[in-house]
């Protein structure tokens, strides 16, 4: 059996360092904020090439609080991809604002920058691209549009820790980047965690107040804030893992290369990597018109796969009140029916990669 992702392996590789980090926090008696969180924030900001990192409780809160820090509220519109994890949309809705979906580029799966301008209205406040599957979105045209129309740019980096756009790591291309440290992400905690990186001192300052009950000084509350803090245990764990992130991303790249080499010329549509992109392969996603049969054949062959994502946000019950038609966003709809994520992770042996390849080539062949 080849699992889609092995979440025990990272602990086994770093057991001693992680056990020490956990023991350090437990024996310190300091369980909210403090040194570990401050240190992780400093180290992650440096890693991302950003002036500030602010830890929060999870990726959804990172998106939501970053939008709040940008003053997004009722009546505002935020441009989002039509094909993303629903968190990107929910963060906008939690502000009382409206997510305005824009279709992806059919090859890169990231928001099609050429379609964004038509979606801008006098109510638009923020453009929210997602670096989907670990591949950077095309930031320069998005930033140019934002400058032209006086908009903010918040990036959803939940799947792209360490990815580079035109040679520079993600972290401060737009006004802010929201990160998730959910266990399965490229930089994953042993529980929930999140952060926002930014070069804007005002956004960083607002986030620090928002995440802590709207308070800077204990029992003095400036605004109606939230409780959304990064746990020091998770911060200590993340500090250990951050030191290994580049090496782990390199191992993902090797698996992606194996897939790319083995599947070129097959009937599968493979990920397209633009010349300026250095993706970190959070997911390796192939596309096939008979996706469900292919997934079943792989399951039968003992290969674990997942679908990211089976239902696009506009067709979720959660957004039924908007009344979107299924064909309102045909590309997002088609992706939901045709994409398949192959096993991928830094601890996946290359022998398993080869087994995935042969099972895949057998199945695709049998399908013709
Ligand atoms: C994981 C993810 C999130 C949400 O992160 P959580 O930590 O689970 O709240 C947001 N956006 C995208 C694209 C994600 O993949």
**296-331 tens-digit pLDDT:** 999 999 999 999 999 999 999 999 999 999 899 999
CA-proximal residue: ligand 1, atom 2 (nearest): 158
Q: What is the mean pLDDT of residues 236-250?
A: 98
Specify the residue with its C-alpha closest to ligand 1, atom 10. 87
Does the structure show a pLDDT above 60 at 367?
no
Q: Is 59 in the pocket of ligand 1 (CB under 6 A)?
A: yes
Delimit the domains of the chain by residue range.
7-102+110-239, 245-366
Q: What is the pLDDT of residue 221?
A: 95
pLDDT for position 358: 95
Q: What pLDDT digit, counting tens, does each position of 93-105 carry?
A: 999 999 999 999 9
Report the residue among 78, 84, 159, 335 best suited for mutation to probe ligand 1: largest number of ligand atoms under 8 A from its CB: 159
Indicate if 148 belongs to the active site: no
d(CA 333, CA 314): 9
Task: Specify the CATH number for 245-366; select among 3.40.630.30, 3.90.1150.10, 2.60.40.10, 3.40.50.720.
Answer: 3.90.1150.10
CATH class, domain 7-102+110-239, is alpha beta
The reply to whether ligand 1 has any atom less than 6 angstroms from the CB of 88 is: yes
Ligand 1 near 158 CB (within 6 A): yes
pLDDT digits (tens, 9 = 90+) for 177-195: 999 999 999 999 999 999 9
Is there a contact between 1 and 304 (Cβ–Cβ < 8 Å)? yes
Exactly one of 8, 15, 148, 185 is catalytic; which is it?
Answer: 185
pTM of the model: 0.98
Mean pLDDT of 136-140: 98
Task: Give the rounded percent of residues in the chain with a pLDDT score beyond 70.
Answer: 99
pLDDT value for 368: 46
Residue by residue, what is the 3-state secondary structure of the chain? Answer: CECCCCCCHHHHHCHHHHHHHHHHHHHHCCCCCCHHHHHHHHHHHHHHCCCEEEEECCHHHHHHHHHHHCCCCCCCEEEEECCCCCHHHHHHHHCCCEEEEECECCCCCCECHHHHHHHCCCCEEEECCECHHHCCCCHHHHHHHHHHHCCEEEEECCCCCCCEECCEECCCCCCEEEEECCCCCCCCCCCCCEEEEECCHHHHHHHHHHCECCEEECCEECCCCCECCCCHHHHHHHHHHHCCHHHHHHHHHHHHHHHHHHHCCCCCECCCCCCCEECCCCCEEEECCCHHHHHHHHHHCCECCECCCCCCHHHCHHHHHHCCCHHHCHHHHHHHHHEEEECCCCCCCHHHHHHHHHHHHHHHHHHC
Closest by CA to 283, choosing from 237, 348, 328, is 348
Q: What is the pLDDT of residues 247-291, one digit of tens each?
A: 999 999 999 999 999 999 999 999 999 999 999 999 999 999 999
Identify which of 47, 71, 239 has the alpha carbon closest to the alpha carbon of residue 160: 47
Read out DSSP for 90-140?
Answer: HHHHHTT-EEEEEPBPTTT-SB-HHHHGGG--TTEEEE--B-GGGPPP-HH
Q: How far is the CA of 330 from the centre of ligand 1 (A)?
A: 23
Number of helices followed by number of strands (H, E) in the chain: 13, 14
Q: What is the pLDDT of residues 151-168, one digit of tens each?
A: 999 999 999 999 999 999
User: How far is the centre of ligand 1, averaged over its atoms, from the C-alpha of 205 (Å)?
Assistant: 23
| Residue 104 bridge partners (DSSP) | 111
The alpha carbon of residue 92 and the mean position of all alpha carbons in its chain are separated, in whole angstroms, by 16
The per-residue pLDDT for 342 is: 98
Question: pLDDT digits over 334-359, tens only?
Answer: 999 999 999 999 999 999 999 999 99
């Amino acid at each position: 059996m080849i699992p889609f992702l092995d979440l025990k392996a990272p602990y086994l590789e770093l057991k001693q360092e992680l056990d020490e980090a956990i023991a350090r926090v437990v024996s310190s008696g300091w369980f909210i904020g403090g040194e570990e969180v401050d240190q992780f924030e400093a180290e992650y900001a440096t890693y991302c090439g950003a002036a500030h990192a602010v830890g929060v409780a999870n990726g959804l809160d990172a998106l939501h609080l970053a939008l709040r820090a940008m003053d997004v509220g009722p009546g505002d519109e935020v441009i989002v991809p039509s094909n993303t994890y629903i968190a990107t949309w929910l963060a906008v809705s939690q502000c009382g604002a409206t997510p305005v979906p824009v279709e992806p580029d059919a090859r890169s799966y990231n928001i099609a920058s050429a379609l964004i301008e038509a979606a801008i209205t006098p109510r638009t406040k923020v453009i929210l691209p997602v670096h989907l599957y670990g591949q950077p979105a095309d930031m320069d045209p998005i930033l140019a549009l934002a400058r032209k129309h006086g908009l903010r740019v918040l990036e959803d980096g939940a799947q792209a820790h360490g990815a580079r756009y035109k040679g520079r790591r993600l972290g401060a291309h737009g006004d802010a980047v929201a990160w998730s440290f959910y266990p399965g992400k490229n930089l994953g905690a042993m529980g929930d965690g999140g952060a926002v990186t930014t070069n804007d001192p005002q956004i960083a300052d607002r986030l620090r107040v928002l995440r802590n009950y709207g308070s800077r000084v204990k029992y003095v509350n400036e605004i109606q804030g939230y409780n959304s803090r990064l746990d020091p245990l998770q911060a200590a764990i993340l500090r250990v893992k951050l030191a290994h992130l580049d090496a782990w991303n390199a191992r993902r790249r090797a698996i992606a290369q194996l897939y790319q080499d083995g599947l070129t010329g097959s009937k599968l549509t493979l990920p397209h990597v633009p010349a300026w992109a250095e993706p970190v392969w959070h997911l390796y996603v192939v596309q096939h018109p008979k996706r469900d049969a292919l997934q079943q054949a792989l399951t039968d062959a003992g290969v674990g796969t997942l679908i990211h994502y089976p239902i696009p946000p506009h067709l979720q019950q959660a957004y039924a009140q908007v009344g979107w038609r299924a064909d309102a966003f045909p590309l997002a709809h088609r992706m939901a029916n045709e994409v398949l994520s192959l096993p991928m992770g830094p601890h996946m042996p290359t022998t398993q990669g080869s087994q995935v390849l042969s099972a895949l080539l057998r199945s695709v062949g049998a399908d013709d």
